[in-house]
Amino acid sequence: MKSDIEINREYKPKKIDEIAELLKIKEKYLIKYGDYIAKIKLDLLDEIEKNENGKYILITGITPTPLGEGKTTTTVGLGQAFAKLKKKGLISIRQPSLGPIFGIKGGAHGGGYSQVYPMDEFNLHFTGDNYAVYTAHNLLVSFLYNSIYHKNPLNIDLNSISIKRVMDISDRGLRKIIAGVFDNYLPHESGFEITSASEIMAILSLSRSLKELREKLGNIIVGFRYDKKPVFSNDLEVAGSLTALTKNALMPNLIQTIEGTPVFVHTGPFGNIAHGNSSIIADLIGIKISDYLITEAGFGTDLGAEKFFNIKCRYSELKPDIAVIVVSLRSLKMHGGVGKISPGKPLPKEILEKNLDAIKVGSENLKKHIENIKIHGIKVIVNLNYFECDDEDEINLLRKISLEYGSDDFVVSEVYSKGGEGGVDLAKSIIKLTEKKEDNFKFLYPLDMSIKDKIKTIATKIYGAKDVKFSNEAINKIELLESLGFSNLPICMAKTHLSLSHDSKLKGRPDNFILPIDNIKISNGAGFIVTYSGEISTMPSLPSNPIGKYIDIDNDGNIYGLK
């Protein structure tokens, strides 16, 4: 098959006005960025307020492997499939970070004949939203240190500063830095994080209006005074400037797929170190102008989906109708203990060979992910992302296992090779299973539960941990937060995405493990408490052979090498 970028360039795109017309969005609500990209003005919310909600579909997956399971490809292909059935489907996804694009993961545009257009702009600077986030974030840090420099009128304890600087490129050399060397305050340890980990990114993603954005930006806690009282961005008198910098970034972006299906792209928090979902405001608009709104959560049900249910849905007040778990046979074999991937080398033959035993063992991972959806009270479909080498007996075995484990349906899709046509069966299954409106959705925990108990609930019920062990530092911070009245917030767990546990080496369905909680941080503006478990870094690094080595331009100025 041709490369993604070749397929993307062969598509004859529709003007963005035509895409907007499919959703009945009037031109007055568009801010155009050339012919094929536009921002949606928030005034549209007033016009569509009385529209009925469409169906709300979550795409998630099993625990990721280096092979990739195909969540974004499935998300895009499903939107195209609804169009094949003459249904108004709208895709709502995150904007990728430049870190993975130039590192090991590549872009987030989908793949094959189920990808978004234009992929170059989508994967690179796009409409400048990420730039707005890291500029606002670093302005906040600048104001913080400026206040300390000018005689520290807020009595900020340097050792309590909880905010670092951010950038959108992976650079392990900036994980830890010594700040303040040349100024008249004491040098101290600080560092950089990736833009996707910024609390401002989370705030942008979880705000319902410009007014709420301003309020949340003012409630960011940057550190504590010597008397242990929190210091807010409002205390630094910078929240107005932060809002001015991010005002336009609050508007969702509209593009299209290579079959002319509408796509909202908005915000980009990572699923393993942040809450891992596209914006509330994109979904609030999208659910009012489509029959089926399809959104994707980062990584597996233990990360992006759990946070979708218990953070995003709490603040949006939207209830999902159904979830789709994307799986591949090759990934299940890896969870079954078969095959080891080496960068730059062909897939090991044992991954491609028929192996029913490996499917059985690896499916224990799938079973836990089905349970994680069911515990929230909604229906679930297991969707096999099909590859040509997939064996029919393996597919039949997986179908049997999926239904036995509680899946409401099992569907094979071929959206990578066939586009929307390859996702029609999945779309039909969703239509059938959501035809009757049901209201069984429930949160995993109440907000008035203690911080420790909320963390333990996620660890034991979603990850399968035996228990939780809190470090002394984590205990001290929990006690401080509870004494200050910050206990009634949801939890955002930061851990590896490569295992249901905190240890990336534990594949399949680990059990009998103790989940360590090493540190705690409050993201008061965003409205959640972050926990850090195991070896987790908020500043990714480049691999030995980064993708950025292969990205270049040809003599006509066309970009190639993007993945």
Three-state SS string over 474-533 comes to HHHHHHHHHHCCCCCCCEEEECCCCCCCCCCCCCCCCCCCEEEECEEEEECCCCEEEEEC
What percent of the chain has pLDDT above 70? 98
Residue 38 belongs to domain with CATH number: 3.40.50.300
Same domain, 279 and 425: yes
| Whether pLDDT at 274 is above 80 | yes
191 in any annotated domain:
yes
Same domain, 414 and 495: no
Tokens of 145: 């240190």
pLDDT band at 100 (very low <50, low <70, confident <90, very high): confident
Domain limit, last residue, from 207, 230, 248? 248
Residue 154's pLDDT is 97
| Whether pLDDT at 183 is above 80 | no
Same domain, 19 and 137: no
| Whether pLDDT at 186 is above 80 | no
Query: Other CB atoms closer than 10 Å to residue 74's CB: what's the count?
Result: 30
Structurally, the chain folds into a number of domains equal to 3
pLDDT band at 102 (very low <50, low <70, confident <90, very high): confident
Same domain, 266 and 298: yes
pTM: 0.95
What percent of the chain has pLDDT above 90? 80
Same domain, 387 and 423: yes
Residue 324's pLDDT is 98
Strand boundaries in 88-153, DSSP class E: 89-93, 110-111, 114-117
Range of the domain at 502: 451-532
366 in any annotated domain:
yes
Distances 295 to 76, 156, 351, 480 between C-alpha atoms, Å: 9, 41, 30, 36
537 in any annotated domain:
no
Same domain, 35 and 89: yes
